[in-house]
Amino acid sequence: MPRTACVIAALALALLPAPAPAEEKKTTLVLGMVLEPPGLDPTSGAAAAIGEVTQYNIYEGLTRITAEGTLAPLLAESWTVSPDRRTYRFALRRGVRFQNGEPFTAADVKFSFARAAAPGSTNKEKAVFADIAAIDTPDPATVAITLTRADPNFLFSLGESTGVILEPKSADGDATHPIGTGPFQFESWVKGASITLAKWPGYRDAAAIGLERATFRIISDPAAQTAALLAGDVDAFPRFGALDSLKQFQGDARFTVTIGSTEGKTILAINNKRKPLDDVRVRRAIAAAIDRTAVIDGASNGMGVPIGSHYTPNDPFYIDLTGLSPYDPAKARALLAEAGVSLPLKLTLTLPPPPYARQGGQIVAAELAEIGVEARIETVEWAQWLDGVYKRKNYDLTMISHVEPRDLAIYANPDYYFQYDSAEFRAILDKVGAAADAGERGRWLEAAQRRLAEDQVNAFLYVLPQVTVAKKGVAGLWRNSPIFANDLAAVSWQ
């Protein structure tokens, strides 16, 4: 090539723009959540928000509940069950450490479960652990647990946040500085604003974790949830509450929207020991006054499956009992008259922050007014609800969604905040545990659902939908919520 041509070619190459550097894969995530947890120890607090932050991220249990709602091993690699279904022998995963460097052994399992069953325990599933007759630890990698009676949901319960394994030396401080065996460790908590977790380098499979840091932003106001997503301040919002804005996101190419299911039994909870609510006719009147369809339309944008008892269509042996309490204002008025209730009946309706409760509660109050029940709305923050309603039982009515799976056993506890005390129901649950086979167990589970519906312990409304809005590129978020968890180990940017 002539020299002049070479110079021209060289100049032309010099004038070409430099290749753009390869864009680094993003490794941080900001998740929105509606409620701030009161603490970060799921074994001592009732709020599902604790598990939303910590479950599978900081803490792990012997088993895990998958995104599909099935059971899988976690800290237990395998297990065997005795023929009478009362003794479980677990082979534990070896080489696991807690985030403070302590090794995970069978002694930690024994400590955690004994702590959950102790007299002063505030574990919301305390009854599960109180039914443990003995825990044997023949070696550091083996645990044998014997129950006082068969419990068909025992392995499933161990996969919930209430069954996570704690490190004994750090357990007392877990509410503010949690220590577990999971892939993420606690980094910071700005009260009222955010909680940040960082990838834990000592995790047994740290190389497979795609995120380096995740921040949970607390945003209870629906309008603020929408604004945060649109402004890019939040990358994803599982259990998104601003359902009126959903079409806006569905039409925006920057976002993906998924709609799935949950275990959230949305109910109008009734204080069964408050007069005249201790009369089943009054409870039935309240239930008959409520149009489930109107509540679903107003509180969940038309998304939600009506229920007539404390079970969801996702649960084994579910039966549809909505026909036992149809919308019938005339019947409601007749029941109140039969019970000798003087009208107007004045009650309080306590509403916590979630949009489904605040919006649905307005509809419920208007419908109750049609039958002469004046439900005075009292809006409270989450901490107030947990203290006043859940702990002190200081309420008449409240609207809430119970998101724990297969939790019929809460109705066997007369000290639970419903204050429902039925020896007949407890006997039915005993027969569920003692059933010889799945068919018999199913018949008794159906009987348990029917007993709750006939006693109209609460007004059973609908199953809470799972709505997630996320930026394009966020992968691995659960479509459904068989438990309220955000499994960060499965999440990455594509």
Do residues 325 and 287 touch, judged by C-beta distance below 8 A?
yes
**What's the pLDDT at 20?**
46
- pLDDT, tens only, 142-164: 999 999 988 889 999 999 999 99
Residue 287 and residue 245 share a domain = no
Q: Are residues 193 and 310 in the same domain?
A: no
- Residue 414, domain CATH: 3.10.105.10
pLDDT in tens, 220-240: 999 999 999 999 999 999 999
pLDDT reported for residue 25? 80
459 and 348 within one domain: yes
Do 269 and 351 lie in one domain? The reply is yes
Q: Which of 280, 274, 224, 226 is nearest to 250 (CA)?
A: 226
Q: Is residue 13 part of a domain?
A: no
Half-sphere exposure in the Cβ direction for 182 (13 Å, CA): 29
pLDDT at 11: 39
Report how far apart, in Å, the C-alpha atoms of 237 and of each of 233, 399, 477 are: 11, 22, 10
The CA–CA distances, whole Å, from 430 to 133, 175, 389, 434, 448 equal: 16, 34, 28, 6, 10
The verdict on 133 and 275 lying in the same domain is: no
Residue 476 included in any domain: yes
Residue 255 lies in a domain: yes
Q: Do residues 278 and 390 share a domain?
A: yes
Residue 271 and residue 384 in one domain: yes
Length of the chain: 494
3-state secondary structure of 231: helix
Name residue, tokens 């677990």: 90
- Residue 452 · residue 267 · CB < 8 Å: no
Q: For 243, list phi and psi in degrees, rounded to 5.
A: -70, -20
**Other Cβ atoms closer than 10 A to 440:** 13
Q: Residue 12 pLDDT more than 60?
A: no
**Two tokens at 5?**
């041509």
- Name 31's Cβ contacts closer than 8 Å, sequence gap at least 6: 214, 215, 216, 217, 234, 235, 236, 237, 238, 486
The pLDDT score that the predictor gives to residue 66 is: 95
Give per-residue pLDDT as tens, 437-463.
Answer: 889 999 999 999 999 999 999 999 999
Whether residue 14 is predicted with pLDDT greater than 80 in this model: the reply is no
Residue 38 counted as domain residue: no
Q: How far is CA 235 from CA 49, 213, 217, 474, in A?
A: 19, 13, 10, 8
Backbone angles phi, psi at 481, to 5 degrees: -125, 85
For tokens 């302590």, what's the residue? 102
Q: Among all chains, which residue has been given the structure tokens 């009292």?
A: 378
CATH of the domain at 115: 3.90.76.10
Asked which of 117, 144, 173 is the last residue of a domain, the reply is 173
Does a structural domain hold residue 47?
Answer: no
Residue 139: domain span: 60-173
87: in domain: yes
Q: How far apart are CA 129 and CA 127, in angstroms?
A: 5
Q: How far apart are CA 15 and CA 1, in angstroms?
A: 20
Q: For residue 246, what is the domain's CATH number?
A: 3.40.190.10
The answer to whether residues 418 and 276 belong to one domain is yes
User: How far is residue 391's CA from residue 260's CA, in Å, rounded to a whole number?
Assistant: 31
Domain end (from 173, 201, 224): 173
Give the model's confidence band at 18: pLDDT under 50 very low, under 70 low, under 90 confident, else very high: low
User: Which tens digit of pLDDT belongs to each residue from 49-80?
Assistant: 999 999 999 999 999 999 999 999 999 999 99
Tally of structural domains, the chain:
3
Task: Return the exposure string of 408-430: e unless at least 16 CB atoms fall within 10 Å of the residue's CB, then b.
Answer: bbbbbbeebbbbbbbeebeebbe
pLDDT tens-digit series, residues 289-340: 999 999 999 999 999 999 999 999 999 999 999 999 999 999 999 999 999 9
415 and 341 in a common domain: yes
Residue range 234-260: mean pLDDT, rounded: 95
Residues 350 and 435 occupy one common structural domain: yes
Q: Are residues 148 and 285 in the same domain?
A: no
For the chain, state the CA radius of gyration: 26
Domain assignment of residue 20, yes or no: no
**Residue 229 sits in the same domain as residue 309:** no
Mean pLDDT of the chain: 94
Q: Is the peptide bond before 354 cis (omega within 30 degrees of 0)?
A: no
The pLDDT assigned to 351 comes to 98
Which of 173, 203, 222 is the endpoint of a domain?
Answer: 173
Are 388 and 465 in contact, with CB atoms under 8 Å apart?
no
Look at residue 447 and tell me if it is in a domain.
Answer: yes
What integer is the mean pLDDT of 136-140? 98
Distance CA 36, CA 30 (A): 15
pLDDT value of residue 5: 42
